[in-house]
Amino acid sequence: KGKPPCTRALARAPATNVQGVVGSPLCGMVGSKPGGQPRSSRRGSWDASRRSAGAALLLALLPPTCRALRPCDSSDWRYALGTCGADTFRQVFVHAAVGDDESPICDPGASGSARQPRPLERLSCDFRCPAGSIVGIGPLPSGELAASCTSCPAGHFSLGGGWLVSGVAGDWRKPWPVGLQSTCMYKDGMNRWNIGGVHHAPCSLRVEAPEGVAGEFEMATAAWNAKLSSLGPLVGRLRLAPGDGRACAPVPLAWRAGIEGKVLLLARPGGCDAEVKAANALLGGADAVLLMDLSRDGIVRAPPSQSSPQPRIPLFVIGQENGDVLTVVSKQSTVIVNVSSPACHVEDAAPRLSNGSSGATFEDDLPSLVMGCAPWTSDPTGQFVYSGNNWHFHRIVSTLSLSINLVRDGYVAFRYAVNAESGFDGFIFELDWKELIALTSTQLTYQDVHVNLTEGVHTMRWQYTKDYGTSHGEDRTWLQLLEVVGLAQADLACMPCHSERTHSVAGAANCNACDANEFLEGGVGQQNFAQCAPCPQGRWSPEGSVGKATCLERQACTEGDAEIQYSACRSHTRSRQRAWRAPVICDKDSPASAALLGTNIESVACEPCQPNTHRPDGGECIPMVLSCKPGQHGVPELVVGHWHSWPSNFSQELRTIGGTGTGSSTAAAAASRGWRLDAGGAFAFVRGTAPASGDGDALLHLHVDVHDTARVRFSCEVTPAEAWGRDALFWVDNVLPMGLVAEPLHDHPGHLLISVPLAAGRRKLSWVWQYREGSASEAAGVRLLNVSVEHAMGAGAARCERCTEGTEVSVDGTSCRKCAAGTATSPSEDGGAFAEEGCQPCPPGSFAPAAGSQNCLMCGHGLWSERGSSSCTSAPVVEKSDPAPEPLTFNVTALVAAWRYSLGEAAFGRGVLEVAGQQYIIGLLEAVPEPGQEGSELSHVWELHGDSREGLPGIGQGACDNVDVGNSVSMPSDPQRLGSRIAAVEAVSLPGLRGVRVQYEGEEPCPGMSGKRGASLFFRCDATVDYMYAMPPVAARDERGIYHLEGLRFVASAPFAALLATSLPPGTCADDAALAWPTPLACPPCRKVDWAEHPGECGADGMREVTFVLVGPCLGGPDRPAARREVCGGAVGVVTEAEIEGMLKVVVVFAIVIGLALIIYAAYLHRKYHARYAGAGNAALRYGR
C-alpha cells in the first residue's frame, strides 16, 4: 500500500543505479529514467569509484526487502479482474506477486525478468464457469492473455456465480450482501400500518381473559370524556349491545342482570350518534361504551358538538380488526377488560395548555401502551440472523428482504428454524409476492429449503408475523444459511470450507460433513481430501467424523446396548419390548445380539405418574388441578420423582466424540457414554470413561417455560465428590448460573441438594458430564435422583398458596398478579382486613397510586377521588371558613390553567424550572418520572443536584446538600424526590395574605428531624393588578433551555414567610422546597364582610367622611360601599348631618300631614253643626215660631 519502505531513503540519497532497486517500479522509479537507465546530473557523469562507494553505502542502509529483489519469472504474474461495465465487458490487470506482508518478492524491471503480459482490455462478462471452478487467466503461447475455467482446490468450493452467508463460519456478523435488508411494520389500534420504531398509544384496553386474546388493544377517546369526573380504572366484563348491536335504542336493565362489578358495552357503529349510544348504555347499567370504528382510515368520526347533551359515562373507540376479535370472543366466553392507563383518565384526556413555542402536545409525555416492532438482527457471534426481539409486541411483521437480478438461471437456498405460538404466529416465505412457505409456527431443528429461480429480477421475503396477542416459546425465526446462485456467470475466487469437520475434493460446489458410520478421508490439516468413505466392516463412527481413525470397532452387543421401550398407556396398560439404544454402536447383526432383544412383547401395567400428575381415564398422565380457597392459587410445580422412562421435555445430547484410539477399550468407553435410565427407575445416570477414550460432553436437557421468578431444585449423587464443579456441571441456557447453592445431604453421603434461581421465560436446563482424558475413571459419574421446577407452565399444582398483600389470583388460578392501580387488598389506609376475594376498588376519597398496592391511601385536604381511583384530584374550588357566615372561595381550576399556560411544557415535567439558582421539575397535579428515566418512580417535584442539573453540571446545591451526619458529610441523592404524593390542596387566609397552597410529601430525609423533606407551592393572591381576565405571563427560556417564571420565588425570601409559616402543620420540615407565585387568579371573590369602615379626619364643620377598605386581598364580588359623612366627636356610627336633614324632612312632612288632618276634621265639624242648626231654623219658620 503506497511505496515500499525504501522510497523515502532513496528520495534523500544521491541518484544512482542500484541493481534491483533503483529503476525498479517497486521502489518508486527513483533516480532513473524509464527503462532503468541512470539519470544524468547537472555536474555530468559521476566518478565510477564514487558511484560504487555510494551504492554500497546505500544498500547497507536500506531495508532488507529493498536491498535486492530477484528478477520476476512467468509464475510471478498475478491477474486482477475489474468490474463489468455497461457494455458487459471487463478488464484484466497484471501485477507482480507480493509476499504475505504485502512486500514485493521480485523486480519486474530487473535484468532477466520475464516479460510482463499486457493487460486484457475486453473480457466478456458472459464468460461462464460451472460450480466448482472459477475464471482463470493465463498467457497463451503468443503472450496474449486468455480466460479459462480453473477448478477449486481441495478444501475449497465455488458456487458458479453467487454468494453464500453461512452461520457456521460466523458470516452473519460481517456486512450483509448488497440488496439484503430488514424492516418491520406494526399495526396500531386504528388498523393503520406503521413502519419500524416504537409507538406509544395514549389509551389502551387491556384484555385480561380469556387467555387466548389477552393483551393490549389501542383505543381513542370521545371528546366529552374530559368533562366527566375521574372514574379510576374500569375493570369489568365486556358485553355486546343487545339487538342489532348498535345501542341506538335504550338498553334494558336486564342486559346486565346477575353481573357484579363494572360492565363495558361493545357497540357497532352507525344508526345514531355516539352520544345517543352512551346515553342508552347508561340506561342499561353500563359503566362505559366501547364503540367499533369501521372507517377505512381508522379516524374517529364526528365527535359530539359542544351543544349536544354530554353523556355521563365515557366512550372509547376501537379499530375494526380489534372490534371483530372481541365480538367473536364475547359470543363464546366471558371477556374481562381493564382500562387502567392514566392516559384514559379524565384529567389526562383533556387537552392541556401550551405556550405554543414548540408545538408539542400533552400526549407526548403520557404513560401509555407501547407498540412497535423489531427488524431482523444478526447474532453477535455471527451464527445466525433472527427476526428481532418482538416478545412484547403484537400485530407485527418483521421482514428480511432480498432483491436480486440474475444474469442466468439459478437458485436460492436457505436454512431456517422457528419457534412461535402455534397456528397464530410464525414464519412465512414469499418469492415475487407469492407465498411459497405458509405460516409455520414450530420448526425446532434447522430445515433446508431450495428454490430454483429463472433469469431476471426477483424479490424474496422472509417474514415473521404475529397476531394480536400472546407470545410463546422463543418467539422468533432463525436463518443460519443463505445462498444465492445466478448473480454472475462465474465466480472469480474460491471460498474455503468453514469447518475442520467439513471439506471438499477439488472442483467441489459445496462442502459436506460425513454421515454416521462414514469418515472424511485424510485428516484435519491435510491438504487433499477425498469424499466421505464408509467405515470398514465391523466399525462405526459418529456424524461429522474426519479421518479413518475415528471409525471405532463394533463390539459384541451387551445388555447395556439394549433398553426397555414402552408404548403409550391405554386403559392403565402398555406394551413393553427390548430395543437397541441409539445410536447403535455394537454388532447388532450377530446371532448373539439378536438373542439379547428377544421377540416377546409383553403387556404390563402403566408406570406410576410423576408427582402432581394423575391418570383419570387410564391413558396418559395429565397435570393435577387443585381447588383452592378464595384468595389462594395452585402453585404449579414440575416434579420428576422416578425414571422408568424419559419424562416429557427431556432430551439427550452427546458432543465431540473424538480421539484416535482404537480397540475394545475405546469402543467400550464410547458405548458407555451418554445419559441412561436405571433399570429400576430410581435415577438417570451417566458414567465416567476410560482415560484413552478422548474428550466429550454428555448432556441431559430439560426445556421448561417459567411464568414467574422460581427455583429449580434437584438431588444428585456425584462420584467422586470432587468431580462436582469440574466434571459434573449444571447449566441454565448453556451457561453456569448465578446463585447456585449446593448442600450435602448428611443422611446420604455423596448426595447433593442443588438449588438455582430461575428468571421468568423459556429456560433450558442442562446436566453435563465432561469426559476429559485422564480426569475420570470408569467408576466416576452422576446419578440424577429427582428434579423440581416451580411455576412451570403446564405443570400440575402441588399445593395451594395464599397470594401476598397487593396481589390477587390470576384468571387461570395458577399464579398471583399485582392489584391494578386504584385497587388494593386492604382498602383502608391502616391496612384493615385482608380481602380474600382479591383486589378491591379503593373507596371514594382514597386511592392506590400504583399496581401492587397493599392498601388505599386517603386523599389529603382539598382532594377527592371516585371509587377505584389511582390518584386524587383537586376539587374545582376550595373554601376557607372564618367568623363570617359566608366562606372564602378559591378557584383551583383557574389556577391550574394559569400555571399550565405560563409554563407550557415545563408544567408537565418536560422542562426545568430555575428559581434563585435552584432547578426543579414540577408536575403540579400530575406526577412525572425522574428526568431521563422513563418508567421510573413518579414524583410531583424533583429537585436537581450535580450532574442532573440542566446546563449547570455540578453547580449549585440545594437546601439539604452536604448534610452533616455525625462526623461525616452525606451528599444528597440526585435528583431528590420531594413530591411523591399530594398531601393537601388548601386555602390560606391570614391577615393581609390569601391564596391556595399545594403541599407535597417527599421521600428524602429531613436534616435534624425524623420526617421527610417535602415541597409546597403557594399561589399568593395578588390583587395589586386586576388582570384576572387577562392572559397570565409566559415563562421565559434562556439559552440553556431553562424556564424562568416571573414572580416565582422561595417563600423564605418573601416578607410574608413568617406569617405563612404559622399555617403549616406541626413537624413540617424546615428544608422543604417552599415556593410562592403571585397571581390574581389566586384571589377569592370579595364578600360584603371583607369591606371594613375607615373614618376620615374631622372637618371644620364638625363632620368627617367614612370610606370602606378591604380587610384581605380579593377581587370581584360586591362593589365597594359608597362613602358617607358623619358628625365628629363620637364614635363611628353617630348621627350625621345628612341623617339630621332627613329627620327634619320627616318631621315637616309629619306636621303637614297632621295639619291637613286637622283642617279636614274642622271642615267636617263645621258642616255637621251647620246642617244641624240650619235645619232647626227652617222648622221654626214653618210653624210660625
HEC assignment per residue over 1049-1076: EEHHHCCCHHHHHCCCCCCCCCCCEEEE
**DSSP reduced 3-state for 722:** helix
User: Mean of the per-residue pLDDT values for the chain?
Assistant: 76
Q: In the predicted model, is pLDDT for residue 921 greater than 50?
A: yes
Question: pLDDT tens digits for 590-624?
Answer: 877 777 777 778 888 888 899 999 888 888 888 88
Q: Are 675 and 652 in contact (CB under 8 A)?
A: yes
* Three cell numbers, residue 852: 401492587
Q: Please, what's the largest Cα pairwise distance for the chain?
A: 207
Count the neighbouring beta carbons within 10 Å of the beta carbon of residue 372. 17
What distance in Å separates the CA atoms of residue 708 and residue 761, rounded to the nearest whole number?
Answer: 8
pLDDT the model gives residue 201: 63
What distance in Å separates the CA atoms of residue 234 and residue 316, rounded to the nearest whole number?
Answer: 12
Buried-state track 481-508, b at ≥16 Cβ within 10 A, e below 16: bbbbbbbbbbbeebbebeeebbbbbbbb
Query: Got the DSSP string for 492-512?
Result: SS-EE-SSTT-B--TTBSS-B
Question: pLDDT tens digits for 1094-1107?
Answer: 888 888 888 888 89
* Three cell numbers, residue 854: 397493599
**DSSP reduced 3-state for 738:** coil
Q: In the predicted model, what is the mean pLDDT of residues 941-945? A: 86
In eight-state DSSP terms, residue 847 is E
Residue 553 β-bridge partners: 539
Q: In the predicted model, what is the mean pLDDT of residues 708-725? A: 90
Q: Are 500 and 546 in contact (CB under 8 A)?
A: yes
Q: In the predicted model, is pLDDT for residue 784 greater than 90?
A: yes
What distance in Å separates the CA atoms of residue 903 and residue 899, rounded to the nearest whole number?
Answer: 6
User: In terms of pLDDT, which residue wins out, 409 or 41?
Assistant: 409
Helix (H) or strand (E) holding 454: none
* Three cell numbers, residue 1143: 329627620
The answer, yes or no, to whether the previous bond of 720 is cis (omega within 30 of 0) is yes
What distance in Å separates the CA atoms of residue 252 and residue 246, rounded to the nearest whole number?
Answer: 14
What distance in Å separates the CA atoms of residue 1116 and residue 1087, rounded to the nearest whole number?
Answer: 9
Alpha helices by DSSP H, listed for 962-1033, are none
How would residue 310 be classed by pLDDT, with cut points 50, 70 and 90? Answer: low
pLDDT the model gives residue 639: 94
CA-based end-to-end distance of the chain? 176
Helix (H) or strand (E) holding 329: helix 320-332
What distance in Å separates the CA atoms of residue 896 and residue 862, rounded to the nearest whole number?
Answer: 14
Helix (H) or strand (E) holding 435: strand 434-440
Question: pLDDT tens digits for 329-364?
Answer: 888 888 888 886 545 643 333 332 222 333 332 223
What distance in Å separates the CA atoms of residue 1174 and residue 886, rounded to the nearest whole number?
Answer: 73
Of 1076, 1034, 1036, nearest to 1059 by C-alpha is 1076
pLDDT the model gives residue 968: 35
What distance in Å separates the CA atoms of residue 461 and residue 400, rounded to the nearest whole number?
Answer: 6
Q: In the predicted model, is pLDDT for residue 500 greater than 70?
A: no
pLDDT the model gives residue 716: 94
Question: pLDDT tens digits for 814-850?
Answer: 778 888 888 888 766 554 445 566 788 999 888 887 7
Q: Are 1022 and 1078 in contact (CB under 8 A)?
A: yes
Q: Are 539 and 590 in contact (CB under 8 A)?
A: no
194: left (phi over 0), alpha (psi -120 to 50) or beta: beta
What distance in Å separates the CA atoms of residue 474 and residue 1147, rounded to the nearest whole number?
Answer: 107
What distance in Å separates the CA atoms of residue 672 and residue 540, rounded to the nearest whole number?
Answer: 15
Of 345, 340, 343, nearest to 363 by C-alpha is 343
Q: Are 1012 and 1001 in contact (CB under 8 A)?
A: yes
Question: pLDDT tens digits for 1105-1164?
Answer: 889 988 889 888 888 888 888 888 655 445 555 666 777 888 888 889 998 998 988 888
CA quadruple 1150, 1153, 1158, 1161: dihedral sign: negative
What distance in Å separates the CA atoms of residue 214 and residue 208, rounded to the nearest whole number?
Answer: 5
**DSSP reduced 3-state for 1149:** helix
Poorest-pLDDT segment among 164-168, 865-869, 957-961: 957-961
822: left (phi over 0), alpha (psi -120 to 50) or beta: left
How far CA 557 is from CA of 562, 590, 597, 689, in Å, comes to 8, 8, 10, 18
What distance in Å separates the CA atoms of residue 79 and residue 136, rounded to the nearest whole number?
Answer: 9
Question: pLDDT tens digits for 141-174?
Answer: 777 788 888 888 877 888 888 999 988 777 888 8
pLDDT the model gives residue 197: 66
Of 958, 947, 954, nearest to 914 by C-alpha is 958
Half-sphere exposure for 270 (CA within 13 Å, toward CB): 5
How would residue 469 be classed by pLDDT, with cut points 50, 70 and 90? Answer: confident
What distance in Å separates the CA atoms of residue 543 and residue 509, rounded to the nearest whole number?
Answer: 21
Q: In the predicted model, what is the mean pLDDT of residues 481-491? A: 89
Q: In the predicted model, is pLDDT for residue 721 greater than 60?
A: yes
Of 1080, 991, 973, nearest to 1028 by C-alpha is 1080
Q: In the predicted model, what is the mean pLDDT of residues 197-204? A: 66
Question: pLDDT tens digits for 969-981?
Answer: 333 456 888 888 8
Measure the CA dihedral 97/103/108/114, to 10°. Answer: -40
pLDDT the model gives residue 156: 84
Q: Are 629 and 800 in contact (CB under 8 A)?
A: yes
Q: In the predicted model, is pLDDT for residue 190 greater than 60?
A: yes
Q: In the predicted model, what is the mean pLDDT of residues 869-878? A: 83
Of 314, 330, 333, nearest to 233 by C-alpha is 314
Of 149, 148, 176, nearest to 163 by C-alpha is 176
pLDDT the model gives residue 55: 43
Residue 574 β-bridge partners: 604
* Three cell numbers, residue 554: 463394533
What distance in Å separates the CA atoms of residue 743 and residue 233, rounded to the nearest whole number?
Answer: 48
Residue 299 phi, psi dihedral angles, 5° rounding:
-85, 135
Q: In the predicted model, is pLDDT for residue 658 greater than 50?
A: no
Count the neighbouring beta carbons within 10 Å of the beta carbon of residue 984. 18
Q: Which residue has the cell 366512550?
A: 315
pLDDT the model gives residue 1023: 85
CA quadruple 1125, 1126, 1129, 1133: dihedral sign: negative
Q: Are 193 and 405 in contact (CB under 8 A)?
A: no
Residue 864 β-bridge partners: 873
Count the neighbouring beta carbons within 10 Å of the beta carbon of residue 416. 21
pLDDT the model gives residue 16: 35
What distance in Å separates the CA atoms of residue 63 and residue 51, rounded to the nearest whole number?
Answer: 20
Q: Are 663 and 650 in contact (CB under 8 A)?
A: no
pLDDT the model gives residue 92: 84
Question: pLDDT tens digits for 1009-1068?
Answer: 777 888 999 999 988 865 555 678 889 999 888 999 999 999 887 878 888 887 777 777
The answer, yes or no, to whether the previous bond of 583 is cis (omega within 30 of 0) is yes
Q: In the predicted model, is pLDDT for residue 740 greater than 50?
A: yes
Burial status of residue 699 (CB atoms within 10 A of its CB: 0-12, 13-18, 19 or more): buried
